[in-house]
Amino acid sequence: MAFLTFRHRFIASQIATQSGASNITLLMLHGTGGTETDLLDMGRVIAPEATLLSPRGKVLENGMSRFFRRLAEGVFDLDDLKLRTHELADFITAAADAYQFDREHMVAVGYSNGANIAASLMLSVPKMLAGAILFRPMLPLTPDVPPALADVPVLISAGQYDPIVAATQTAQLADMLRSSGAHVTQITQPSSHALTQADVEAARVWFAEQFTVPTR
């Protein structure tokens, strides 16, 4: 499928139900230096019934894949960020057509650089995502027009001892999302920037509460 412009993995849900988590597609967005396979196992833990779409970032920084350029640690190339955000949105739309999944039920799961472009998607293309799980994010940009994110569920998982993302930067993102109407849950792990099992377990529980339809 040459028109799908990101190298990626797509894994369709193996569970055919009419409602619940099997209708969800998780958009898995890796951190700096990751690939399209890095977060697949985590996606299966968070939502075993979900479809997975996992692209690889197309920007290279010293040979490491990223989703957008940065000028320094924590200093983003905003022009490139905006361009890459809309490029990713176009890819999602094309993938939904190609693989026949419902784009209105897409939830992003992003780590670090992937979390930041997921946040940029929410702020710049607000109807693209039905929710997001953001590990170690910061506010990537301030939108010209506040997005309409009424009741969109978002989990933000920060690291208490993160040397890359300060607590104030995470708080700025949470405040921006809340002011746009999103329903934000914030947790802080006693960890650094790296992901932990506690992050994944918290995301699994949160996802089940937000998106799984109880059986009757």
Split at pLDDT 50, 70, 90, the class of 215 is: very low
Give per-residue pLDDT as tens, 131-171: 999 999 999 999 988 899 999 999 999 999 999 999 999 99
- Give Cα 18 to chain centroid, integer Å: 25
Sequence-ordered list of residues with C-beta below 8 angstroms from that of 188, at least 6 positions apart, any chain: 157, 158, 159, 160, 167
Closest CA to 151 of 124, 134, 172, 129: 129
In degrees and rounded to multiples of 5, residue 167 shows phi and psi of: -60, -35
Average pLDDT of every residue of the chain: 92
Give per-residue pLDDT as tens, 20-60: 556 899 999 999 999 999 999 999 999 999 999 999 999 99
**Catalytic residue from among 8, 86, 105, 193:** 193
112 is catalytic: yes
H or E element in which residue 75 lies: strand 75-76
For residue 213, the model assigns a pLDDT of: 55
- Residues 167 and 85: their CA atoms lie apart, in Å, by 24
The structure tokens listed for 160 are 């208490």
Q: Are 40 and 28 in contact (CB under 8 A)?
A: yes
162 is catalytic: yes
For the chain, list the domains and their CATH numbers.
8-211 (3.40.50.1820)
For residue 22, the model assigns a pLDDT of: 64
193 is catalytic: yes
Give per-residue pLDDT as tens, 162-178: 999 999 999 999 999 99
pTM for the model:
0.94
For residue 4, the model assigns a pLDDT of: 85
**Catalytic residue from among 30, 157, 162, 199:** 162
